[in-house]
Amino acid sequence: MARYLDVHPVNPQSRSIKQAVAVILDGGLIAYPTDSGYALGAQLGNSEAKDRIVRIRQLDEKHHFTLMCKDFAQLGQFVHLDNAVFRAVRAATPGQYTFILPATAEVPKKMLHPKKRTVGARIPDHPVVCALLEELGEPMLTSTLLLPGQAEPPTSGWEVKEELDHQVDLVIDCGEVGTEPTTVIDFSEGFPEIVRRGAGDPTPFE
């Protein structure tokens, strides 16, 4: 049965954030709110948690996992950004976008797209996620909580707990969150390709 934490959406309690990060560092899988619906999160390099995400979402090997980063300094350690891509990504973050980018050697091979050697990366704009990343001190391996057959992620912690009570280790609830997943922009070839239209305005990349 998953643990359940009710946190404040604007000023998340430090004790609760520390508890959630302890679960991550202990190898656990959490469900947490973001600025684009709920997501699943684990420690970078945790192959078992990655496999659990694959099973929950019924993903294939072509799926891009995402690094949830707290800022550009952190993001720059894990992905390659030329000047033009840097400016485009910088203008759109923090926010409701995921960018597919070439990964650096800092990203474990098992977390990469098997053929492209790319990874998703995003800088969120949500107090709870920002607090988690600040406490964790490193990017969090993540994937939008889109369950098979569903077009939108869940919007509340109780909904997640009822659905995944025996498949995740902890659920964070902060009240209702948005329903649209991120807009996904693929920069792996050096130019923007819109892979998924979501909460972030795709117009700057068209």
State pLDDT tens for residues 103-132: 999 999 888 887 889 999 999 999 999 999
pLDDT bracket for residue 176 (50, 70, 90): confident
3-state class (DSSP) for residue 63: coil
pLDDT of residue 26: 98
Average pLDDT for the chain: 93
Which residue segments constitute the domains of the chain, with CATH numbers given?
3-205 (3.90.870.10)
- Better pLDDT: 120 or 176: 120
pLDDT of residue 60: 87
pLDDT of residue 88: 93
pLDDT of residue 194: 97
pLDDT of residue 112: 87
Tens digit of pLDDT for each residue in 45-90?
999 999 999 999 999 888 889 999 999 889 999 999 999 999 999 9
What average pLDDT does the segment 135-141 reach? Answer: 97
pLDDT of residue 113: 84
Tens digit of pLDDT for each residue in 6-26?
999 999 999 999 999 999 999
What average pLDDT does the segment 147-159 reach? Answer: 86
Residue type, 105: A
Over 90: is that where the pLDDT of 152 sits? Answer: no
Asked if residue 94 has a cis previous peptide bond (ω within 30° of 0), the answer is: yes
pLDDT more than 90, % of the chain: 80
What average pLDDT does the segment 171-190 reach? Answer: 91
